[in-house]
Structures are given as structure tokens and as C-alpha cells.
């Protein structure tokens, strides 16, 4: 797995219109782990991809009524099988964090990469997801020279409104990837 102009190679690319440029001179310094399922608790529906590409038919499920007109994205989605879809170049600003703050800095979208795991707060993530996430994080660490504390949950940057990746996420499964080798 490697990067070429902000895009991972040899994965699925589905460019989202929901992005813009990062502020001048700002590079990714943070990775934010999220979870998502559409409808809630259902997997493999294709609805996440449709949401991020503004093609979701919000009439197909009653719970989608609050998604009408919503413009959101993430840089990556890792599905339950560990397959990766990239929606936004890492060099651009995806719209994943919303109102957020990390170490006193607001607007985390400006300086972060958003990775969505197909899942819920309380359902265990799959071995395939952890394996793929580890690979992605290793590439991002090398390319962007990320600090040891540069991977956080959505709950860490928006604690008043977000709980993901949730109690089911096992931080120990990626902790060694987060440490710089001495």
C-alpha cells in the first residue's frame, strides 16, 4: 500500500464532491477514527458510499430523513471485509469532523484525516478491519511523519456530541503502529 499525490494506490476510489482545500501550508497532523453504518447497524448496503458521494436516496429508509441535503465525507472507508474506499485525497480537507477541537486547535478538518470504519460503537470490529487500518496508519505515519499521539477517536475531538469509534474499538490492536520506532 502506498500513496501517490494524496491517494492510496490499488484500492477503490470514489471521489466525493464534499471536500475543499486545506488552509495554505497546513498538512495532515491528526488521524480521526470514526464509525458509520447506514441504516444503523446494517452493513454492506452501499449507503455509506452514496452518502459521501451525494447520491443517497433518502427516501429508501425512514432513518435517512435527517440526511437530506447533508454534505459530508471522509478520506477513507474500511468495510467489514477490510476493503478500502477512498473518497478524498489526504492532501485535501474532507468534511468528517464537524465542530471539533484537538489540543486547543479548532476545526479539525483543517489538519486531520478521517477514517470511517463500517461498524457501530458496541459491535466488535473485524480482524480484517484492524489489519487494513494498521496498514493504512503505517503508510500515513511514514508519509506525513505523524506524532505518536496523532490517532484519536471522533469522541476525542467532539466529546459533547460524538461517541465513535465506541467502546467496541480495541485501541490495543493498533497501539504498536502508533509508536515511532526508536
pLDDT 10s digits, 92-146: 999 999 999 999 999 999 999 999 999 999 999 999 999 999 999 999 999 999 9
- Which pLDDT score is estimated for 178? 77
Gap between the Cα atoms of 1 and 72, Å rounded:
26
CA 173-126-67 angle, to 5 degrees, is 110
Spell 160-175 as b/e; 16+ CB within 10 A means b: eebebbbeebeeeebe
**Is position 116 annotated as part of the catalytic site?**
yes
For 4, the 3-state DSSP assignment is strand
Choice among 116, 118, 160, 182 that is catalytic: 116
pTM: 0.96
Residue pair 120/37 in contact (Cβ under 8 Å)? The answer is: yes
Strand (E) or helix (H) holding 32:
strand 30-36
Structure confidence at residue 1 as a pLDDT band (50, 70, 90): confident
Q: Tell me the mean pLDDT in the region 162-175.
A: 96
The set of cell numbers assigned to 144 is 506525513
- Which pLDDT score is estimated for 7? 98
- Which pLDDT score is estimated for 179? 74
What CATH number is given for 3-35+72-173 in this structure? 3.40.80.10
Q: Tell me the mean pLDDT in the region 87-94.
A: 98
- Which pLDDT score is estimated for 180? 60
For 112, the 3-state DSSP assignment is strand
Residue 181 predicted with pLDDT over 60:
no
Of residues 1 and 140, more confidence is placed in 140
Residue 182 predicted with pLDDT over 70:
no
- pLDDT, one tens digit per residue, over 30-78 is 999 999 999 999 999 999 999 999 999 999 999 999 999 999 999 999 9
Close Cβ partners of 22 (under 8 Å, ≥ 6 residues apart): 28, 91, 92, 93, 110, 111
Amino acid at each position: 500500500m502506498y500513496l501517490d499525490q494524496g491517494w492510496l494506490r490499488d484500492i477503490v476510489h470514489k471521489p466525493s464532491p464534499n471536500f475543499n482545500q486545506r488552509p495554505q501550508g497546513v498538512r495532515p497532523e491528526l488521524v480521526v477514527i470514526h464509525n458509520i453504518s447506514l441504516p444503523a447497524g446494517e452493513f454492506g448496503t452501499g449507503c455509506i458510499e452514496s452518502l459521501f458521494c451525494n447520491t443517497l436516496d433518502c427516501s429508501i429508509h425512514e432513518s435517512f430523513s435527517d440526511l437530506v441535503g447533508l454534505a459530508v465525507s471522509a478520506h477513507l472507508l474500511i468495510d467489514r471485509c477490510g476493503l478500502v474506499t477512498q473518497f478524498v485525497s489526504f492532501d485535501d480537507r474532507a468534511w468528517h469532523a464537524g465542530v471539533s477541537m484537538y489540543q486547543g486547535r479548532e476545526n479539525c478538518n483543517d489538519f486531520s484525516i478521517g477514517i470511517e470504519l463500517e461498524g457501530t460503537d458496541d459491535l466488535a470490529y473485524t480482524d480484517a478491519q484492524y489489519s487494513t487500518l494498521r496498514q493504512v496508519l503505517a503508510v500515513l505515519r511514514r508519509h506525513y511523519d505523524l506524532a505518536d499521539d496523532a490517532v484519536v477517536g471522533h469522541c476525542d475531538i467532539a466529546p459533547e456530541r460524538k461517541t465513535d469509534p465506541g467502546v467496541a474499538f480495541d485501541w490495543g490492536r493498533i497501539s504498536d503502529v502508533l509508536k515511532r520506532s526508536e
